[in-house]
Amino acid sequence: MTVLLVALGAAVGAPLRYLVDRAVQARLGAALPWGTLTVNIVGSLVLGALVGGAVPGSLLALLGTGLCGALTTYSTFGYETVRLFEEGAHHRALIYAGLSVGAAIGAAVVGVTVAEALWS
């Protein structure tokens, strides 16, 4: 049953990632991969809230592993960082990498903290 919940969450998360990425990128331009940055931060916030809220295992499988796992994308983040370096945009690549990691960790901490405050 758990694998079906993960698959169901992923079936929503993957197209959502694509749609959010395209919408954000179209609005903010190509200076940085804003779409990937956005989905990674939002996914980290949601996952942090789920963990901090101590949701049941089945809900964590559906929303945490499935939805957030498919919504966020470490591989695309890595590829986009390398691409920026290869294009000679070293400064932007470093900003993107630092911002991505820092903001995603910060979002996860905020998610956990808010959920714990709400549910404790």
Summarize the annotated binding site for Na(+) as residue ranges. Answer: 69, 72
CB-based contact 68:49 (threshold 8 Å): no
Residues 6+ apart with CB under 8 A from 84: 32, 33, 90, 92, 93, 96
**What separation in angstroms does the CA of 99 have from each of 12, 21, 27, 57, 79?**
26, 17, 19, 31, 15
- Annotation: binding site: 69, 72
| Cα R_g (the chain), whole angstroms | 15
Per-residue tokens: 70: 């498919």
